[in-house]
C-alpha cells in the first residue's frame, strides 16, 4: 500500500484538525513574538572580552515604557475592531481561504518587522495594526471551516485539538524566544516565525478543501458520517440574521464566558513575569520558565476537555455538559485567585501553583464556550465568533492597562491583590451569566426552512453502497 493510498484513507476531518492546530500555533507565535522580542530590543547587553573584561552594550532602541505600551497594544486595536467583519466574510466566502490567507499575509508582514523597527516606533505601530487586521480573520474563519466539517459526536475533540495550537504557540515563543534573541539576535525571532508560518500556508491550501460537499479526494463514508452528524437543520442562507443574533441571550452568555476566560488568561499572561520577579523575587530566567509552563498546561487541558466532552455528550444533554464543565472551570479559577490573594509573598511555591491552576482551568472554560458556539450557531458561527471574540479579546489591552493604573509599586503584593479580587468578581459574573442564559441546541435563527436543505451527496446511499465505494 503506497503512502498516497494511506493518506487518502485518513479521514479528512482529522487532517484538517492537525493542520488547524499548526495554523493556530503559527498564528499565536506571530501575535506574541513582539512581546518577547521587545525585551531584547530595549535592554542593554553585557559582552565579555577575551581578557575577562565586560562591556555594556547600549540597547538597540531606547523606547520609554509608554512607547512600548503603545507598540504592544496596537495589535489589539485592529484585531478587536475587525472581528465582526471577519466573521461576516468567513460566513459568505468560506473559511478555508480566509484562514490560510490571513496567516500567510501576517507572516509576510512579520518579516518586515526589523525594517519597520529601524524606521521608528510609528512605523512599527502601523505594521502591528496591519498584523492585527490580518489576524482578526483567524478565529472566525477556522470556526467557519468547522461549521461544515464537525459532526456532533466528533465536534469537541476536532475543534479543541485545532484551537489548542494557539496555546502551544504561546508556550513555544515564551520558552524559546529569549534563547533565540540571546544566541542569534532579536531579528531572528521574526524571521523564524514568519518563515514557519509561510511554510504552513504552502501546505494548508493544497491539503484542504472548503467543504465535504465538494467530494474531492474524500471517502463517501466520511461524507455520509459528517452529513448525519451535522443534521438537516442548519441554515445555508447567506443573509446573516443580525437582529436575531444580537438579541439572543445564549450569544451573550458565550460572550460573557469568553470575556471572563480571557480576562483570567491575559491578567496572568501580561503581568506574570513582572509579578514573579518584582513581588515574589524570582530570578529573571526562572521567571521566564515559570511564565511559559502554564501555557503548556492550558493547551493540554483544552485538548483533554474536548475528548471528555465528546464522551459525555454521548450520554448526557449537550447543555448539561457545557454548563458542568464551565461551572467546574470558573470555580477552580476563582478559588485559585482567592488562594493567591490570601497567601503572603513568602509562600512563593503555593502562589505559583495557584497561578498554574488558574491557567489550566481556563482550558476547559474556553473549550466549553468555544464549542458551544458551534452548538447554537451552525452556519453563522463565524459571525458569532466575531462578536464574542471582539468583546472577549478586550482584556488583551484592558488587563495591562488596569494593572498599570492600580499597581504603582510592583514590589507590594497587596497592590497585586486588588487585581486578583477584580478577577474573582469577573469570573463569578461570567459564570452566573452563562449558567442562566446558555443554550445547547441550534437556535431558531440558525435553522433552515423546510425546503432549504440540500444533502452533501446528490445520490442516495445505502449501507451496502458504503462498503463498495471508495472516494471520488
Residue 452 located in a structural domain: yes
Q: Which domain holds residue 253?
A: 12-46+62-468
Sorted by sequence, the CB contacts under 8 Å of residue 147 that are 6+ apart come out as 95, 234, 374, 377, 378, 379, 381, 382
The answer to whether the Cα torsion of 371, 373, 378, 382 is positive or negative is negative
Query: Which H or E element spans position 55?
Result: strand 54-57
Residues 381, 141 contacting (CB under 8 angstroms): no
Cβ atoms within 10 Å of 376's Cβ, excluding its own: 26
Q: What is the pLDDT of residue 188?
A: 95
pLDDT given at position 272: 67
Query: Beta strand pairing status for 54-57 and 45-48?
Result: antiparallel
The per-residue pLDDT for 456 is: 44
Residue showing cell 453502497? 465
In DSSP terms, which residues pair with 395 in a beta bridge?
Answer: none
Helix and strand element counts for the chain (H, E): 20, 2
Q: What is the pLDDT of residue 442?
A: 87
> Does residue 5 lie within any of the structural domains?
no
Burial of 385 (0-12, 13-18, 19+ CB in 10 A): buried
In a domain, 1, yes or no: no
Query: Quick one: pLDDT at residue 200?
Result: 97
Do the domain assignments include residue 201?
yes
Do residues 291 and 175 touch, judged by C-beta distance below 8 A?
A: no
Sign of CA dihedral 194, 37, 113, 268: positive
91/293 Cα distance (integer angstroms): 36
The span from the CA of 410 to the CA of 415, in Å, is 7
Q: How many CB atoms lie within 10 A of CB 47?
A: 9
pLDDT of residue 73: 81
Helix axes 12-42, 138-149, angle to 10 degrees: 170
Residues for the chain: how many in total?
472
Domain count, the chain: 1
Q: Is residue 339 part of a domain?
A: yes
Instruction: Give the model's pLDDT for residue 465.
Output: 38
pLDDT of residue 228: 77
Longest alpha-carbon distance in the chain = 84
Q: How far apart are CA 362 and CA 81, in angstroms?
A: 24
Contacts 24+ apart (CB under 8 A), 119-126: 121/61, 121/63, 121/67, 121/70, 121/71, 124/71, 125/70, 125/71, 125/74
Q: How many CA atoms lie within 13 A of 75 on its CB side?
A: 24
Residues 6+ apart with CB under 8 A from 218: 12, 209, 212, 471, 472
Is 3 a domain residue?
A: no
What cell numbers appear for 422 in the block? Answer: 477584580
Please state, in angstroms and rounded to a whole number, the distance separating the CA atoms of residues 22 and 38. 25
List the chain pLDDT tens, one digit each, 472 residues: 567 666 677 888 999 999 999 999 999 999 989 988 888 888 777 666 556 666 777 778 888 877 887 888 889 889 988 999 999 999 888 899 999 999 999 999 999 999 999 999 999 999 999 999 999 999 999 999 998 888 877 888 899 999 999 999 989 988 888 888 878 889 999 999 999 999 999 999 999 988 887 767 777 888 888 877 765 455 555 578 899 999 999 999 999 999 999 999 887 766 666 677 666 777 655 666 777 888 888 889 998 998 899 889 889 999 999 999 999 999 999 999 999 899 888 888 888 888 889 988 999 998 899 899 989 988 899 999 999 988 988 887 788 778 777 877 777 788 888 989 999 999 999 999 999 999 989 898 887 654 444 444 444 433 333 333 333 3
Distance CA 25, CA 37 (A): 18
User: Which three cell numbers mark 5?
Assistant: 493510498
Write the CATH number for 190.
1.20.1250.20
Q: What are phi and psi of 132, to 5 degrees?
A: -65, -40
Classify residue 53: in a domain, yes or no: no
Place of cell 464543565: 325
- C-alpha 254/C-alpha 75 separation (Å) is 24
Is 182 in contact with 40 (CB distance < 8 Å)?
yes
Query: What does the pLDDT read at residue 466?
Result: 35
Give this prediction's pTM. 0.83
Position 51 in a domain: no
Q: Are 138 and 75 in contact (CB under 8 A)?
A: no
Amino acid at each position: 500500500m503506497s503512502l498516497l493510498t494511506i493518506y487518502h484513507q485518513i479521514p479528512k476531518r482529522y487532517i484538517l484538525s492537525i493542520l488547524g492546530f499548526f495554523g493556530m500555533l503559527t498564528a499565536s507565535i506571530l501575535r506574541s513574538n513582539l512581546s518577547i522580542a521587545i525585551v531584547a530590543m530595549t535592554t542593554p547587553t553585557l559582552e565579555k572580552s577575551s581578557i575577562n573584561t565586560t562591556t555594556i552594550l547600549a540597547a538597540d532602541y531606547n523606547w520609554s515604557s509608554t512607547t512600548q505600551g503603545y507598540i504592544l497594544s496596537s495589535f489589539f486595536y485592529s484585531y478587536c475592531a475587525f472581528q465582526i467583519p471577519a466573521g461576516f466574510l468567513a460566513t459568505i466566502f468560506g473559511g478555508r481561504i480566509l484562514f490560510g490567507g490571513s496567516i500567510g499575509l501576517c507572516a509576510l508582514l512579520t518579516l518586515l518587522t526589523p525594517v519597520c523597527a529601524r524606521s521608528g516606533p510609528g512605523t512599527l505601530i502601523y505594521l502591528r495594526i496591519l498584523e492585527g487586521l490580518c489576524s482578526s480573520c483567524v478565529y472566525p474563519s477556522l470556526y467557519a471551516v468547522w461549521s461544515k466539517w464537525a459532526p456532533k459526536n466528533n465536534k469537541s475533540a476536532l475543534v479543541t485539538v485545532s484551537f489548542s495550537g494557539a496555546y502551544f504557540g504561546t508556550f513555544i515563543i515564551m520558552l524559546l524566544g529569549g534563547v533565540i534573541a540571546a544566541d542569534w539576535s532579536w531579528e531572528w525571532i521574526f524571521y523564524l516565525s514568519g518563515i514557519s508560518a509561510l511554510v504552513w500556508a504552502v501546505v494548508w491550501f493544497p491539503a484542504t478543501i472548503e467543504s465535504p460537499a465538494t467530494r474531492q479526494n474524500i471517502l463517501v463514508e466520511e461524507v455520509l458520517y459528517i452529513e448525519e452528524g451535522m443534521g438537516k437543520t442548519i441554515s445555508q442562507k447567506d443573509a446573516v440574521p443580525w437582529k436575531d443574533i444580537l438579541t439572543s441571550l445564549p450569544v451573550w452568555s458565550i460572550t460573557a464566558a469568553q470575556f471572563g476566560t480571557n480576562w483570567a488568561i491575559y491578567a496572568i499572561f501580561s503581568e506574570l513575569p513582572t509579578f514573579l520577579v518584582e513581588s515574589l523575587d524570582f530570578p529573571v530566567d526562572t521567571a521566564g520558565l515559570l511564565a511559559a509552563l502554564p501555557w503548556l498546561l492550558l493547551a493540554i487541558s483544552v485538548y483533554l476537555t474536548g475528548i471528555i466532552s465528546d464522551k459525555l455528550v454521548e450520554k448526557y444533554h449537550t447543555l448539561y455538559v457545557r454548563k458542568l464543565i464551565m461551572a467546574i472551570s470558573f470555580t477552580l479559577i476563582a478559588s485559585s485567585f482567592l488562594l493567591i490573594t490570601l497567601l503572603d509573598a513568602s509562600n512563593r511555591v503555593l502562589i505559583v501553583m495557584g497561578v498554574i491552576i488558574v491557567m489550566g482551568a481556563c482550558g476547559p472554560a474556553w473549550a466549553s464556550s468555544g464549542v458551544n458556539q458551534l452548538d447554537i450557531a451552525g452556519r453563522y458561527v463565524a459571525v458569532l465568533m466575531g462578536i464574542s471574540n471582539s468583546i472577549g479579546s478586550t482584556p488583551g489591552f484592558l488587563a495591562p492597562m488596569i494593572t498599570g493604573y492600580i499597581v504603582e509599586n510592583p514590589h507590594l503584593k497587596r497592590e497585586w491583590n486588588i487585581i486578583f479580587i477584580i478577577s474573582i468578581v469577573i469570573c463569578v459574573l461570567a459564570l452566573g451569566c452563562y449558567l442562566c442564559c446558555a443554550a445547547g441546541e441550534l437556535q431558531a435563527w440558525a435553522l433552515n426552512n423546510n425546503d432549504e436543505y440540500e444533502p452533501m451527496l446528490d445520490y442516495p446511499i445505502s449501507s451496502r453502497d458504503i462498503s463498495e465505494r471508495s472516494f471520488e
